[in-house]
Every structure is written in C-alpha cells, then in structure tokens.
C-alpha cells in the first residue's frame, strides 16, 4: 500500500519535473529489470498520455541494425501498461496483459518514441464503471511508435484485464 502511494506521488511529480522524471526512470529500471537493458526512458507522463523513449543502440538492434520488433513492441506495451497503472489504484487492481498485436510499417534506424493515450471519459466508461459493477474489466489501448524523424514505425494494440 505504501509503495503504491509512493509510486503515485513520484508519477505525479514526474509530470512536471525533470528531476522527478529521472527518479521515476531509475526506479522503473530497477523494479522492471527486463526493460533495463533496453534503456527505456519516460519523456512525458500524465494521467492521459505517456511517451516512452527507446534509444537506437546495439542492445535494441536486430540482424540488420534496425530496432528489433520485440523492443518496439515492449516499449509500446510499457507505455500502455504504465498509463493504466497510474490511472488505477495499484494496491486494489492488478493488470494482466491478455493480448498484444503489432503492425509494423517502417524500419527504425533511429531512436523511437512509443506514445499511449487514454481519455478520462474512456477510463470511466470502459474501466472504472465495469470494475465497480462487475469487479473486472477489459480494455484495449493503442500505442503509436514513431522514430526521431516522425515516421510511424508501428502501431501496437495491447488488451488488458
């Protein structure tokens, strides 16, 4: 319970403060060790939008020196999952990813940004109201992944329970 409140405190501060955003990125790198080697960094965070930066570096490359499809999908999944997590009370609800679907359009040979967004009305109607009445809810979020030049690299849809 205390961890969840502390996380929400840091997330709230990270929305407007580069210092707290750096703290959040360090905490997330330590608590989600699978993502640490990728070098993911949150660049924008608030209750309706999250942007996650993934660098163009060797650990993220595929065999033709583009960013690997799995690194792209992971950055997108991370942005969507974290967006849901900060909008729900982490001590009351547990997120389970039920499905991940990715459509790739462009080979990323530069840094990428994965962006997920969730409007307050959609949060209320598709998540909060069903949770109150049924105790469970399912939602699909779309994350758009673009490279440093603005090219759409992929669109990743994650379905969460």
Residue 146 has pLDDT above 70, yes or no: yes
Rounded CA-CA distance 52/74 in Å is: 10
> With 80 as the cut, is the pLDDT of residue 52 above it?
yes
Q: Quickly state the pLDDT bin for 132 (edges 50, 70, 90).
A: confident
**pTM for the whole structure:** 0.90
Cα separation, 21 vs 27, whole angstroms: 10
Residue 87: pLDDT over 70 = yes
- Residue 101: what pLDDT? 97
DSSP code per residue over 56-117: --GGGB-TTSSB-HHHHHHHHHHHHHHHHHHHS-TTT----EEEEEEEE-S---S-EEEEEE
Q: Which residue has the tokens 């690299």?
A: 153
What is the count of structural domains for the chain? Answer: 1
Range of the structural domain that residue 11 is part of: 2-160
Domain CATH number, residue 75: 3.10.129.10
Residue 1: predicted pLDDT:
53
No. of helices (H) and no. of strands (E), the chain: 5, 6
Q: Which residue has the tokens 């969840």?
A: 4
* Distance, CA of 87 to CA of 131 (rounded, Å): 13
Cα(15)–Cα(141) distance, rounded to whole angstroms?
A: 21
- pLDDT 10s digits, 5-24: 777 788 888 888 899 999 88
Q: Is the pLDDT of residue 39 over 90?
A: no
| CB-based contacts of 35, cutoff 8 Å, min separation 6 | 28, 29, 74, 78
What percent of the chain is predicted at pLDDT more than 90?
A: 57
């Amino acid at each position: 319970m205390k961890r969840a409140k502390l996380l929400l405190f840091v997330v709230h501060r990270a929305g407007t403060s580069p210092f707290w955003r750096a703290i959040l990125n360090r905490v997330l790198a330590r608590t989600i060790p699978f993502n640490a080697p990728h070098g993911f960094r949150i660049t924008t965070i608030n209750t309706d939008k999250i942007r996650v930066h993934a660098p163009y570096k060797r650990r993220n490359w595929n065999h033709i020196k583009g960013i690997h499809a799995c690194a792209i999908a992971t950055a997108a999944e991370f942005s969507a999952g974290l967006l849901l997590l900060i909008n729900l009370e982490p001590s009351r609800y547990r997120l389970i990813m039920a499905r991940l679907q990715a459509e790739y359009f462009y080979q990323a040979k530069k840094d990428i940004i994965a962006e997920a967004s969730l409007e307050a009305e959609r949060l209320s109607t598709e998540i909060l109201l069903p949770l109150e009445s049924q105790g469970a809810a399912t939602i699909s979020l779309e994350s758009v992944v673009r490279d440093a030049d603005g090219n759409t690299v992929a669109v990743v849809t994650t379905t969460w329970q």
